[in-house]
Amino acid sequence: MKSKIMFLVALLFCVASFAQPRAEYPRPQFEREAWVNLNGEWSFTLDLSKSGQNRDFYNSKGFDSKIIVPFAPESKLSGIGHTDFINSVWYQRTIQIPAEWSGKNIKLNFGAVYYTSEYYIDGKFVGRHYGGSDSFSFDITEFVSDGKEHSLVVHAESDVRSGQQPAGKQSSIYNSHGCFYTRTTGIWQTVWMEAVDACALERVHVLTDIDQSQMVVTPTFYNYAAGNKFVVSVKDGEKVVSKVEVAAAQGLPVVVPIKKAKLWSPESPFLYDVVYEVVAADGKIVDKVDAYVGMRKIHIEGNKILLNNKPYYQRLVLDQGFYPDGVWTAPSDEALKNDIIMSKEAGFNGARLHQKVFEERFYYWADKLGYIVWGEMASWGKSAASVTAARNFISEWTNIMVRDRNHPALLVWTPFNEEWSTPGNEAGRFYTDVYNLTRQLDPSRPVNTISGGLYAPSDFCTTHSYQQDGEKLHKQLFDGEKFYQPQGPRAENAPRAMRFLVYDGKVPYIIDEFGGIKCAETTPGGGSWGYGDAAKTKEDFYKRLESQVKAITDHSDKICGFCYTQLTDVEQEQNGVYYYNRENKFDMKRIREIFQMKAQGYDQ
C-alpha cells in the first residue's frame, strides 16, 4: 500500500511539473473560444553585449538555454534567476496554426513585455512595441500558414537607469534597497494566439448607468462588411434579461436597458454575463465574445466618494504585487485570488495597486470577489521633464486605461506616485496633460493625479504620513482647517520640506499611505526595515496600529478613507500585514477589527 501511495505522489509531481504555467485565459472580460496558450518552455539567451542583431538572432531556430514563460528571467520560476541588470534578451519557440483556423486572421497577443520589444517569424520582422506594462497584439496572418511550423523570436531590451521608461519599484542599482526591489525584464505575462474574423470585434467600452437602468456599449471592429449586425445579450444566470441588435457601426454607442438592475458592490459583487456577437447579413455568427459587466456607479460629491449613490469609506491596503518566486508575475491564478481573500480577511475592502500595473486576471478576481481597486501606473523611473519619457508614459498609460476601464472593481485612476519635480516647468505641463487625458479617456471615474507629493490638477486631496504616534498623527492630519502635506524637491539624504496647506473641503481627502509598521517580534534581526522604530512586541504593534487608524477615522467628517502600507512584506521592506510568502504574521481577527473601526457617517 505504501509503495502505491509513493507511486501516486510521484505521478502527481510529474504531472504538475509538466503542467502549462498560467494556463487560464488571460483576458476574462473579453474571451474567445479559439485560442492557443503559448506559455511554457521557450529557448532563451541573455544578450548582455546587445550584439544579438549582428549575430542574426532573429533567424534563430533555438537558443542554448531554456526559460519558462511567462516568468521573467530574474525570477526563480523562470528557471534562470539572473538578478543582475539585463539590458537585452532573446526568446524563441515554434508555433503552429491549427488547421481549423483556416480563413481566419491570426492574432499574436502579449499580456506584457518589459520594456522595448521586437517580434520576428521565420526571420521576418513582424513589429515593435514600446511599453512594459500594457497589453498588445500583432496580426501575423501574412507570416504564417495553416498547419506549418514557424519559428517565433522575441527580442526585449530594458534600461531602468535611463530615466526614459516607467519602471515602478525596480531597483536602479545592483541590489534591492529601501523600497526598490528585483527587476523584471522581457516577457512577464501570458502569450497567446487567437483566431478572429476579418470583421471581428476589437474591443468595447462599457459605461453602466444605474440611474437610468441601462448600460452603454461602444464597439470598435477590426473591419466592416455591409449588412453586419452587432448583438449584445445580457444574462442573469441562464436567463436573458436584455438583448439588443443594431447595425454594426464603428464607435457608435449602443444603449442596452437593464431593468431593476442588480448592483455591484464589495458587499454584493453581482456580475451579469454578457455575450457580444457580430452577425453577417446571411445570419452567420462571424464573431462571439464572452464577457461580463458589473452595474455600479462611482462619483464624487463634495468631500465624499459615493458608490451607487451612497458615501463609501475607503479601507484600502497598499499592494505592490511582488512574489518571492515570480517577482512581478503571480505564480498562479489562485495566488492572485488568494491575495484578495487575504486582504479582505485583514479588514480591507480594497487596494491601491502600487507602482505596478496588475494583470487582467487580478481585476477579474477583484470584480468577482467584491474588492475595490485604485489602479496606478508604474510611474517611478522616468524623468518628468523629459519629452521622450513623457511620450513613453502617455502612450503606455493610454493603452492601460483602454484595457482596464470596463472593470467594475476599478474605482479610481492614479497616474503618478510622489512626484517632486517643480510644477512650474515642463513637469507641471506633463502632469496636467495626463490628468486631462485620463478624464477624456474615462470620464466615469475620478482621477488621483499624484498620490502624495506635489499638487497637480486632481479630483482628490491626498497625503502620505508615516507618523508613528497616533496622537501626533491625529493632530498632524488636521490643525484647525489645515492639513499636512510634504512639499518641495526631494533631495538625496535631505529631509523633505514640510508645511500645512488649507483644505477647503471641496474634494475628497484621502490618507493614501500611512502605517508601514515593522514588528521586531515577527521580523527579528537586521537587514530589513519599516517606517519609524519597530514595535517591540505584537501587542505593541496592535496598540500602535489601533492608535493610527483611530487618528484617521476620528476625522471621517473630512477624511473619507485610508490606505495602509502594506499587504505583505516585499523583500527587505518587511512591514506587511502578512509575510512575503503570504503566511500569517499576526492575529488576523484582531487586525480585522482594527481596520474595520467605525467611521462616522458611513454604513460600512
Domain with CATH 2.60.120.260 in the chain: 22-196
CATH of domain 22-196: 2.60.120.260
| Percentage of the chain exceeding pLDDT 70 | 92
What amino acid occupies position 174?
Answer: Y
Q: What is the pLDDT of residue 484?
A: 59
pLDDT for res 1: 45
Q: Does residue 163 surpass a pLDDT of 90?
A: yes
Region 378-382: mean pLDDT is 95
Pinpoint the residues of the chain covered by CATH 3.20.20.80.
314-595
Give the pLDDT band (50/70/90) at residue 488: very low
pLDDT in tens, 282-315: 999 999 999 999 999 999 999 999 999 999 999 9
Topology (CATH) of 314-595: TIM Barrel (3.20.20)
What's the pLDDT at 10?
34
- Percentage above 90 pLDDT, the chain: 85
Assess whether pLDDT exceeds 80 at residue 220.
Answer: yes
Residue 422 banded pLDDT, cuts 50, 70, 90: low
Strand 372-376 with 350-353, pairing:
parallel
Quickly name the fold that domain 211-293 has: Immunoglobulin-like (2.60.40)
Calculated CA dihedral for residues 530, 568, 473, 523, nearest 10 degrees: -40
Q: How confident is the model at residue 18 (pLDDT cuts 50, 70, 90)?
A: low
- 506-550 tens-digit pLDDT: 899 999 999 999 999 998 877 899 999 999 999 999 999 999 999
- The C-alpha cell 459583487 sits at 269
More confident residue, 503 or 174: 174
Query: What are the grid coordinates assigned to 536, written together?
Result: 517591540
pTM here is 0.94
- What whole-number distance in Å separates Cα of residue 402 and Cα of residue 379? 17
Residues of CATH 2.60.40.10 domain(s) within the chain?
Answer: 211-293
Tell me what pLDDT residue 421 has. 64
pLDDT band at 8 (very low <50, low <70, confident <90, very high): very low
345: part of which helix (H) or strand (E)?
helix 333-345
Mean pLDDT, residues 221-227 taken together? 95
Distant-in-sequence, close-in-space partners of 432: CB < 8 Å, separation ≥ 6:
456, 457
Q: How many CB atoms lie within 10 A of CB 449?
A: 25
Residue 497 has pLDDT above 90, yes or no: no
